[in-house]
Amino acid sequence: MRILKPALMRRPVWHLPEHMATPENVWLSRRQLLAGAGALAGVSLLPRRTLALDDEPVATAEEIAANHNNFVEFGTTKKVARAARALKTSSWTLTVDGEVEQPLTIALEDIGKRLPIEDRLYRHRCVETWALVVPWRGFAFHHLAKLVTPKPAAKYVQFTSFLDPAVAPRQKPGWFSSMPWPYREGLTLAEAVHGLTFIATGAYGRDDIAPSMGAPLRLVVPWKYGFKSAKSIDRITFLSEKPVSFWEELQGDEYGFWANINPAVDHPRWSQAEERQLGTEEYYPTRLYNGYAEAVAPLYAGMKLPDEVLFR
């Protein structure tokens, strides 16, 4: 596959015209365009677009998004889709507890009755530098927070993935790659109730999610590195103290609590300046807060944290 070097990609092609907005059309059209561009020594024919918050990026095809994953419960390669089919999502419940006035346990099938379901197209950027764009369906987390009424003591929110060694044998004690199961992630309360923070219940226009992408409930925090977006969650806990997350416990110097995306702050072992779009294999400059700076930078305005802390 042809790889356009960043220097030649003088303009972002995140945004394509409306008539090209279905993934299938985009695939064909982009390839044709890029083939044409190749003939013109790498100069794209697309008009220059700078992605604004309300611009719609272009979805990655589901076949690609569901077959290149990080989901360590099912293996440490990107090819975990088959193993993840072991997930049993039929009698799933979500428990919301901790520092709240009205803790609740809600069955998956009742979520749509109590929370406003909407579609959102979000960029996703893994700390390992691959990136894609996913059309999620689900609800903004602040709606759920309102249902349980956080107590004044609540300062953080922890999102916990399933724990079931019968489904994910790697979670058996003593497995050679023993990890601190279950997978879990944390946000400040302010981050959690930010309008962009989303719990996905569906994707690609459907009311369910491919198992490999974190069925049946998946946190989505689009301005942070992908590891913050915990998959297959069954518990959300409001806390007074900052929780330690899965990767932080394993390798805290490389995968911190904040993990906000910033092209200028390298991972200790590689540059974060560019990202590779799955499917096209094109490289683009990484965007501050993954392109959502306008919306989320105010969250961090008063903080005097060094970049290595806020962005790693």
Ligand X SMILES: Nc1nc2c(c(=O)[nH]1)N[C@H]1C(S)=C(S)[C@@H](COP(=O)(O)O)O[C@H]1N2
Would you give the binding string for ligand X spanning residues 225-254, x where CB under 6 A is met?
Answer: -xx-xxxx----------------------
Binders of ligand X in range 105-134 (CB under 6 A): 124, 126
* Cα 28 to Cα 161, 194, 277, distances in angstroms: 37, 36, 16
Distance CA 204, CA 16 (A): 18
State the minimum distance, in angstroms, from the CB of residue 89 to Mo ion: 22
* 283 HSE (CA, 13 A, CB side): 12
Residues 152-211 interacting with ligand X (rule: CB under 6 A): 161, 183
Pairing mode, strands 130-140 and 118-125? antiparallel
70 is a contact residue toward ligand X (CB under 6 A): yes
User: Per CB under 6 A, does 71 bind ligand X?
Assistant: yes
Of 227 and 258, nearer to ligand X (C-beta) is 227
Sheet harboring 93-98: ordered strands across?
104-107, 93-98, 233-239, 156-161, 184-188
Give, as ranges, the residues between 48 and 77 that touch Mo ion (CB under 5 A). 70
Please give the backbone phi and psi of residue 290, each rounded to the nearest 5 degrees, phi first: 55, 25
Name residues contacting Mo ion, limited to 127-186 (CB under 5 A): 127
Residue with tokens 């409306």: 18
Task: Single out the segment in contact with ligand X by CB under 6 A; choices: 6-14, 15-23, 66-74, 164-172.
Answer: 66-74
Query: What is each CA distance from 301 to 111, 187, 282, 298, in whole angstroms?
Result: 34, 16, 33, 5
Q: Which is nearer to ligand X, 65 or 140 (CB)?
A: 65
Query: Which segment (40-48, 67-75, 84-92, 140-148) binds ligand X by CB under 6 A?
Result: 67-75
Residue 262 C-beta: closest distance to ligand X, Å? 16
Selected range binding Mo ion among 1-9, 145-153, 220-228, 247-255, rule: CB under 5 A: 220-228
Residue 160, φ and ψ in degrees, nearest 5: -115, 130
Cβ atoms of 55 and 15 closer than 8 Å: yes
- List interacting residues with ligand X (CB under 6 A): 69-73, 124, 126, 161, 183, 213-214, 226-227, 229-232
